[in-house]
Every structure is written in structure tokens, then in C-alpha cells.
Structure 1
Amino acid sequence: MDNHSITWSLTRHGLLAGFGIAMYCGSARAEEPVVVPAQARTMTALDLYDLYRDKTWQWPDGAGRMQDRGRLFRAWSGTGDNASWAEGRWVLTNDGQMCLRAVWHGPTGASPDKTCFRHKIDEGTIYQKKEPSGAWYVFKHAVPDKDDEYGKLVEQDTVSAKVMANRPVAQAVLTPEHAPLPTAAPAGAY
């Protein structure tokens, strides 16, 4: 598969927020299914924290920011009449999951949603898949590849200003410590 895509379908208000993180694998690897080695270990919450903390995940028409302080997740997608934005939390577990729980806002309303990814590592290569039914792919090679999805994680915050600009003034008074969680974190979550 050379293009895995994630779309958060927000049906509560008929809102379809294009949270389209496009996952591109290199064309040479696109024809071959990725098999996670049997000896690969599940990444811990601490491993995932180090991987995603204070990073922006860029995609073709938006981005999501995993902020360390308050474990705040913010994202934006689309432009003009199709623009949407989200705020929530990013949650890590010791069974290799990183979940993005957020309320997406768009022209037709707002709706909560959750997207989770599972991670394994073997000899420096990180494997990832979207839960519950995504296919495994190489997220980061031990020797970095220019097509690694990991390369779309950047330190620069290209999200917060755009979200704040699109947010109604009445909601702008919420700080990360006071922003409500869209759903409760699972027991044992980091």
C-alpha cells in the first residue's frame, strides 16, 4: 500500500473533518506487504512519549501537534469553507498505543473522535498501524529513509496559531489545563 490515509468521520453533526494524515511508503516497498518481525517488541508509553512529545505531525492539508504541557493535542485541516480544527488530548499506553482524542470543529458543528496507532520496534525500525484494522508499515527505518512517515514529525509548532485564529473567541479562554477531555483516558494510560 503506498498511501494509507486516516479520515476522522465526525457524524454527530454530519461533520466530516478531513483529518487526513497521508501515510506514504516508498514506491519500492509499496508492492511488498510489511511483516513485523516476530522478535519486535511493543513500544512502551515512555518510548512513545519520547517519539511524539512536542512534535507536529504534518500532512498534505493540515497538521496535528502533540504538546507536552497538559498533553494537549491540537490540529487543523482544510482551508476556506472546508477548514476544521480540533482540540483534545494525546494518550499513551504501555501496550504500544498512541491515541488522539479530540473534538473537531467545522462549518456544520463539532464532534468528538478518537484515532489510535499501535507501535512496535525491532533493531531501531519502528512499525506502526492504525487501529483497529490498519496494516503495519515502517514508520521509521533504523537508517532513516527520506520517505519515512517519521520525517513528517517536526519540532516547529505550525498548528497552535492556526487553531487559535479559527477558534471562536468564547472558546479561546480555555487553557490546556482547563480544556475538557473528550473521553476518559484508559486505566494505565501515560
Structure 2
Amino acid sequence: MTRSRIERKEVSANRSFRWSMLISCCLSAVTFADIAHADGIVAPSADARLMTAVELYLLYRDKSWIWSDGAGRFDDAERRFTARTGAGDTTAWAQGRWIVTDDGRLCLNAEWHTVSGVYPNTSCFSHKRAGETIYQKKEPSGSWYIFKHASPAESDEFKKLVAENLVSPDIATIKSDLQNQKRLAGNTLTNASRRKTQ
């Protein structure tokens, strides 16, 4: 194998790792982006119980979840999940399914598309309810926090669930932008390889 092919593989592997980490961080940020100004980490009350699949379905169905740098969409049809995040060379979009279970879990199972490739990712969030208060944590190692207060507060993450579709209208543009970035990256890599062999 030539030195330039080895270097290209190393660059590709480093890019893949960086994108995997970025996607993981983006999904972690979903629940923790604005917690700093929320009530912070709390333990669910003693009377809190796991939410049912029906409760979770009604909570997320046909909603967009606004994130600090994008949004995720929970379409009812076929439980389709789509998302967009980042800007410029950190732009990513996702498509997959959202799943709810009777043990209080919402899972996002999607393939994330970036300039360097496609990366499958599954992220799950646990939910408990005590009266009208909803607690949430990212699995497996997140901390519980109040997702929705009994009397919703402006800082509640729940307030970021909106009916408007904030993802689908942008997906075509994002796909096109990523294709252009891939083309440019390919041309840059090809030109760099040519210069090394000259």
C-alpha cells in the first residue's frame, strides 16, 4: 500500500472517530444543553413511577424537540425520527425511528449523515412521572432532572417540544450542502495526493 493511501485511510479513520464523538455529544447535549439554568440534577420523588409507552407516545408524537444547534422530529407516521444539527463543516442530519417502551424509555435509533460518512447511533432517555412532574435522564449514565414541572417553568426542556416541524423543511438543503462539502473534500484530498506524487 502506498504512503498516500495509508495517510488517506488514517485521515478517514480520524474523521470517522471525530464524527462519532460529535454525534454522541450532540445527542448528549439534547437533554443537557440548557440544564445549567434549570433546577439542575435532582432525584425523582419517592412517588415517581416509570412512564408508560402510551404516555411517552402522547408526549413526543408529531413534535419537534428544539436543541441548541438543531432539532429532532418525532413523526407519528411509522414512528419516523429525523434530525438536523450543527452548521458548516459540522452539519449532520439523521433519519431513523423513535421507540417508546413501558419501562419509561424513549430511544432514538438513527443513521447520522455527515460529510465524512454515515454513522448509526442509538440514544435512550428514561422518564418518570410524579403527578404532573416529569423527570428525565439520558441512559445509561445521565443524571435525573426535571423535564417538566407540575406548573411548567420557562426553563423546562418540555417547553422545547413544539408542534411545528423544524426539521423536514431543511433536510433537502442540508443533504445538498453535505454533497457539496464531500465533493470539495474529495477534490482537496485528490489534489493533495497529486502534489505528493509529483
Q: What is the aligned partner in structure 2 of residue 53 from structure 1?
A: 61
The reply to whether residue 148 of structure 1 matches residue 151 of structure 2 is: no
Q: What is the percent sequence identity of the aligned residues?
A: 47
1:124 aligned partner, one-letter code:
E
Contact 1:26 1:147 in 2 (8 A): no
1:111 aligned partner, one-letter code:
Y
What are the Cα deviations for residues 130-172 of structure 1, in whole angstroms up to 9, with x where unaligned?
A: 000110000000101000000011100010121232236xxxx
2:65, 2:132 → 1: CA distance? 20
Q: What is the aligned partner in structure 2 of residue 29 from structure 1?
A: 39
1:105, 1:166 → 2: CA distance? 10
1:29 aligned partner, one-letter code:
D
Q: What is the aligned partner in structure 1 of residue 6 from structure 2?
A: none
Which structure: greater strand fraction? Answer: 1
Unaligned runs of 5+ in 2: 1-13, 177-198
Structure 1 residue runs of 4 or more that deviate by more than 6 Å after TM superposition: none
1:120, 1:79 → 2: CA distance? 34
1:25 aligned partner, one-letter code:
I
Which structure: greater helix fraction? Answer: 2
1:129, 1:61 → 2: CA distance? 20
Q: What is the aligned partner in structure 1 of residue 16 from structure 2?
A: 13
Q: CA deviation at 1:60?
A: 1.3
Contact 1:75 1:159 in 2 (8 A): yes
The reply to whether residue 103 of structure 1 matches residue 111 of structure 2 is: yes
Which of the two has higher C-alpha Rg? 2
1:109, 1:152 → 2: CA distance? 29
The TM-score normalised by the length of structure 1 is 0.77
Report the RMSD for the aligned CA atoms in angstroms: 1.9
| Residues 130-145 of structure 1: pairs in structure 2 closer than 5 A | 130-145=138-153
Q: CA deviation at 1:82?
A: 1.3
Secondary structure of 1:167's partner? Answer: helix
Secondary structure of 1:146's partner? Answer: coil
1:114 aligned partner, one-letter code:
T
1:89 aligned partner, one-letter code:
R
Q: What is the aligned partner in structure 2 of residue 188 from structure 1?
A: none
Secondary structure of 1:132's partner? Answer: coil
